[in-house]
Amino acid sequence: MASAAQQAVHLGNDRVSLVLDLRGPGFPGVAHWGAPLGDLVEGDLLALLDQTMPAPVGNGPDVPVRPGLLPEHARGWLGRPGLVGARPDGTAWAPRFVLESASIEDARAVLLSRSDAGLAVRTEVELTPSGLLRLRHVLTNEGPAAYAVDGLGVALPVPTRALELLDMAGRWARERSPQRHTFGIGTWLRETRGGRPGFESPTVLMAGTAGFSFRSGEVWGLHLAWSGGTSHSAERLGTGAQVLAAGELLQPGEIVLAAGESYETPWVLAAYSAAGVDGISDALHRWERARPQHPSSPRPVTLNVWEAVYFDHDLEQLTRLADAAAEVGIERFVLDDGWFRHRRDDTAGLGDWYVDEGVWPQGLGPLAEVVTSRGMQFGLWFEPEMVNPDSDLAREHPDWLLGASSGLPADQRHQQVLDLGQQPVWDYLLERIDAVLSDYPISYVKWDHNRHLVAASGASGRAGVHRQTLALYALLEELKRRHPGLEIESCASGGARIDLGILERTDRVWTSDCNDALERQQIQRWTGVLLAPELMGTHVGPTRSHTTDRTHDLSFRAATALFGHMGVEWDITSASPEERTELAAWIALHKELRGLLHSGRVVRADSPEDALWLHGVVAHDGSAAAYAVVRRATSVTDAVGPLPLPGLDPAAAYRVVLANPQPWPRRRERFALPVTAPEGVVLPGRVLTTVGVTVPELHPEHAWVLEVERV
């Protein structure tokens, strides 16, 4: 709502409130972002504005500066300005904006501000039913001279009681590693410069009250829905003012607006939780699931053949693999890298998107027939944005490579990048991919991206990551338009391009190239802060991981893969009959639970020790739940006491049973407890959430799965 005099905007529901101060003199300020305030009459709203103004301080501005959605240096903000740029003569570098109009309808506000420097900013703010805020700026150059945009981001102030920061870092095969520290004076700046969010992406930048955890504390979080360069920051000034901000990372000269041209920032998604990090996840997951393009059919259990055959494509072996896959309940079969011309290893052929006649003399039709006749969907791997210098495409069109105009960067993974910003390049990729998808019954594409964009100059010589990202989006959208029902997985060396910009155009992500179940526990736990389980590819890898050389029992690998979009990345033709039987049982359990797993609320218990984790999914109506108890390492004590099960309805009664398929671990007689009996244990929700249940002893790198139903 807005006051009659248009002095304030309050967007709120039962999860969050945002109050904007429109009284000026500068860009709209933020009087409150946090706990819901309910319905406020105009007098209360204006009183809130007055009493939340920063107090005057010695040696400070006579009129204190209220932090806003676009912090302004010209108004006295001494932190990072929301807009950084200038005209060719160096002017307009510190514009002063004045609000001209505010349009408020339902849960959406559109604010138009203009500056004395010939610049206009339209700010869009939306509040979703899940409590998630979506915000972006659109900057228009209304002056006669060009305007170079070096940075434009959305900022949101957080209260001084937010004393700690938490975000994520990582590397290949070790994505989403959490890091936290004090929210001190200065700037915590996280930038990704590889042309994608990257392994080092903060994913969700969070600030919270001291000691906040998964289940407790107030938390404020930002995510940038963008698949190119990104910038996230948390900043605290000596005045005590502190903000979270996010925007696209722009290279010098990348965005230069001629008269009348505009630049639109990516959407910034902002969530508040009064109940820990799980509340941030809940707001994000609810919004993701409410999107019209969110996958609505049951997520097919997927076999990807990469770790089964690598580049050794042989129809007989792949047929045996398809037979084994159908036998254990696989629903989608994906042929990975190596099917196209000259691709016998990773040094050649990338970009030559024609089926290799030497390997597949009859094309992919015979394999597609094998797969679909077994009742499975057929999927195929592409890496369209990249090219091997040793390829027909690179030899014929060296000018199509990103950076060719100013000198190519060093090869990475024997690859260079195709300049999708050039129309002939874009047209070639569309024609080739479209042709392959039209020739065969392909319902799924694994879309990979295996190198950084370095010195990424377009044909003009100017930085080209922004244009490359928009061209990628357009290519994905056009392929989906031409092939209704086509699903696309975003893969970037595993989990290096995981963001809600790419997921506007794709249907899931490959969470990591690491299928080591122990590593995956942490990777999936923290990727799941942003993404609902059905958007994360979680596969059962081979007994010995090819990234860590570590071995795990099938039960641990399968229990880890269970809580996502489950699949298999393993040569199951080499598995023993007993292993295939057990794998089939785990897949059947996933199918039984996936309606719950892919719709319910993700919960993660706060464990007193890092060696033992408990996480799960609870139906929104409280009717059912599934939990995993994961022993990651040994503890100093032999066993743990009862484990509380978070998220259940205190007023309901539940039956809890151990759901691990047979065979059970060695010496089964040691595991006789109420929860292991066929009838399980029945207790009120208020007992289960506070006292919990006792589970059998677990050896390191093993897990129990608990199935919970209301009785």
**Residue 38, pLDDT above cutoff 50:** yes
Domain-ending residue, one of 536, 568, 599: 599
Can you give the CATH number for the domain in which 693 is found? 2.60.40.1180
The pLDDT value given to residue 1: 46
Instruction: Determine the residue type at 636.
Output: V
Cα 615 to its chain centre, rounded Å, is 19
**Residue 639, pLDDT above cutoff 90:** no
- The 10s digit of each residue's pLDDT in 203-249 is 999 999 999 999 999 999 999 999 999 999 999 999 999 999 999 99
Place of tokens 């319910």: 600
Work out the average pLDDT over 360-374: 98
Residues 309 and 356 placed together within one structural domain of the fold: yes
Find the helix or strand (DSSP H, E) in which 581 lies: helix 577-597
In a domain, 310, yes or no: yes
Interatomic CA distance for residues 464 and 481, integer angstroms: 26
Work out the average pLDDT over 256-285: 98
Grade residue 477 by pLDDT with cuts at 50, 70 and 90. very high
DSSP 111: E
In a domain, 401, yes or no: no
Residues 563 and 660 placed together within one structural domain of the fold: no
**Residue 80, pLDDT above cutoff 50:** yes
In a domain, 414, yes or no: no
In a domain, 389, yes or no: no
Interatomic CA distance for residues 675 and 131, integer angstroms: 37
The pLDDT value given to residue 10: 95
Work out the average pLDDT over 81-90: 98
- The 10s digit of each residue's pLDDT in 106-138 is 999 999 999 989 999 999 999 999 999 999 999
Assess contact for 213 and 606: CB atoms under 8 A. yes
Residue 243's domain spans which residues?
Answer: 8-290
Residues 266 and 377 placed together within one structural domain of the fold: no
Assess contact for 77 and 65: CB atoms under 8 A. yes
Grade residue 63 by pLDDT with cuts at 50, 70 and 90. confident
Work out the average pLDDT over 362-372: 98
DSSP 483-532: STT-EEEE-BTTBSS-STTGGGT-SEEE--S---HHHHHHHHHHHHHHS-
In a domain, 127, yes or no: yes
Interatomic CA distance for residues 557 and 524, integer angstroms: 13
The pLDDT value given to residue 665: 53
Helix/strand/coil (H, E, C) string of 424-491? HHHHHHHHHHHHHHHHCCEEEEEECCCCCCCCCECCCCCECHHHHHHHHHHHHHHHHHHCCCCEEEEC
Residues 269 and 336 placed together within one structural domain of the fold: no
The pLDDT value given to residue 231: 98
Instruction: Determine the residue type at 389.
Output: P
**365-373 helix and 315-328 helix, angle to the nearest 10 degrees:** 20
Grade residue 178 by pLDDT with cuts at 50, 70 and 90. very high
**Residue 666, pLDDT above cutoff 60:** no
Residues 132 and 237 placed together within one structural domain of the fold: yes
The pLDDT value given to residue 664: 54
The pLDDT value given to residue 668: 53
Residues 204 and 351 placed together within one structural domain of the fold: no
**Residue 2, pLDDT above cutoff 70:** no
Residues 614 and 648 placed together within one structural domain of the fold: yes
Residues 324 and 245 placed together within one structural domain of the fold: no
Interatomic CA distance for residues 576 and 96, integer angstroms: 71
Domain-ending residue, one of 583, 599, 615: 599
Can you give the CATH number for the domain in which 324 is found? 3.20.20.70
Residues 102 and 213 placed together within one structural domain of the fold: yes
**Residue 457, pLDDT above cutoff 90:** yes
Residues serving a catalytic function are 448, 513
The closest of 658, 619, 657, 613 to 520, measured between CA atoms, is: 613
The pLDDT value given to residue 607: 86
Residues 226 and 81 placed together within one structural domain of the fold: yes
In a domain, 223, yes or no: yes
The pLDDT value given to residue 72: 95
Work out the average pLDDT over 578-594: 97
58: number of Cβ within 10 Å:
4
**Residue 318, pLDDT above cutoff 70:** yes
Q: How many domains does the chain have?
A: 3
**Residue 150, pLDDT above cutoff 50:** yes
The pLDDT value given to residue 70: 97
The pLDDT value given to residue 64: 84
Work out the average pLDDT over 302-308: 97
In a domain, 627, yes or no: yes
Residues 594 and 560 placed together within one structural domain of the fold: yes
In a domain, 478, yes or no: no
Side-chain-facing half-sphere of 259: CA atoms under 13 Å: 3
- The 10s digit of each residue's pLDDT in 514-547 is 999 999 999 999 999 999 999 999 999 999 999 9
- The 10s digit of each residue's pLDDT in 23-35 is 988 899 999 999 9
Burial of 464 (0-12, 13-18, 19+ CB in 10 A): buried
Nearby residues of 665 by Cβ (< 8 Å), 6 or more positions away: 555, 671, 699, 702
Q: Residue 452 region, left (φ>0) first, then alpha (ψ -120 to 50), else beta?
A: beta
**Residue 608, pLDDT above cutoff 90:** no
The closest of 552, 547, 513 to 630, measured between CA atoms, is: 552
DSSP 157: E
Residues 593 and 624 placed together within one structural domain of the fold: no
The pLDDT value given to residue 5: 52
Interatomic CA distance for residues 492 and 449, integer angstroms: 4
**Residue 4, pLDDT above cutoff 50:** no
Domain-ending residue, one of 550, 577, 599: 599
